[in-house]
Structure 1
Amino acid sequence: MKMILHTDGASKGNPGTAGIGVAFWRDGEAEPFHTLAERLPDTTNNAAEYTALLRGLHEALLKGASEVEVRTDSELMAKQIAGLYGVKSPDLQPLFAEAKRLLAKFDKAKVVHVRREQNALADKLANQGVKLPLPAP
């Protein structure tokens, strides 16, 4: 089964209060079948983007996806995943490595950059996540 994920991360301050949003569609369906918004400990916007990607990939695997297309408005992350840009930040390197590991679990997987307005639901969810309380440890 193919899933289309829209992911976004938000950080108010950089680093600062952060959240993630992910919306899940089954290929060919007009409405998402699942969404999530979560608060993160203070982090950078780029780390929040990667965390949203990781959370979405984990959920897609749990929901039985064999193929995934991730749509993100983070051009940096999409180009890093595609191998067009290097990952220089030591904070992002483990997140990048985990993303590549998870992407390899799918029969087909790609991460594509979309314009911000094409990612509005994930953006809204990420901003909702920023406002949530931090989960208890």
Structure 2
Amino acid sequence: MNSNNKLIVFSDGAARGNPGPAGAGGLVRARKNQEILAKTCEYLGEKTNNVAEYMALLLTLNQARQWPTAELEIFADSELMVRQLNGVYRVKDATLKLLYQRVNLILQDFPRTSITYVPREKNKEADALANEAIEAYLRGKKREIDITDLGGPMSLL
């Protein structure tokens, strides 16, 4: 696959408290020139940090679906989520299990994917978008995302 058909995905979920007001941030970039093709910045409501991380990835992957033939390189700063998606850790929590299944369904839409843990310092843009979503909601400028719009088992959350 040539570099024109590769995307870099960064995602981050944030929660102020656990659970607490949560936001999702993410970016889809062209691998070749680093151009930002899509952004995610959504308020999620009261969620745990781990749920926010998965929801941020789901929302950002939904953005990446605009390029269904692309190879995805995914980066996230949630060691738990990355290890679960790479099969290193089992998913025990029922809510996370639903989110995990939904992420894997979306990943099957792409010809090749990889997910890699990065430290928070390497994920600053996605982190800023997640926190911006929380701040905007707290200032009364954004509504909570309706997660039923994402379809699948997410509608049970």
SS of the aligned residue for 2:91 comes to: coil
Q: Deviations over 1:6-41 (max 9, x none)?
A: 100000111110000011110122342332211011
CA distance in 2: counterparts of 1:93 and 1:82, whole angstroms = 14
SS of the aligned residue for 2:116 comes to: strand
Q: Deviations over 1:44-99 (max 9, x none)?
A: 01000000111111110124452111100001000000000001111101000001
Quick check: which one's helix share is greater? 2
CA distance in 2: counterparts of 1:123 and 1:89, whole angstroms = 24
Number of aligned positions between the proteins = 137
Match of 1:75 among 73, 79, 99: 79
Match of 1:19 among 19, 23, 33: 23
Match of 2:110 among 93, 106, 109: 106
TM (norm. structure 2) is 0.82
Per the alignment, residue 95 of structure 1 pairs with: 99
Quick check: which one's strand share is greater? 1
CA distance in 2: counterparts of 1:54 and 1:45, whole angstroms = 14
Assess if the C-alpha contact under 8 Å between 2:39 and 2:60 holds in 1: no
Match of 1:48 among 39, 47, 52: 52
CA distance in 1: counterparts of 2:60 and 2:143, whole angstroms = 19
By how many angstroms is 1:113 displaced? 0.3
TM (norm. structure 1) is 0.93
| Identity %, equivalent residues | 37
Gaps of 5+ in 2: 137-141, 147-157
Gaps of 5+ in 1: none
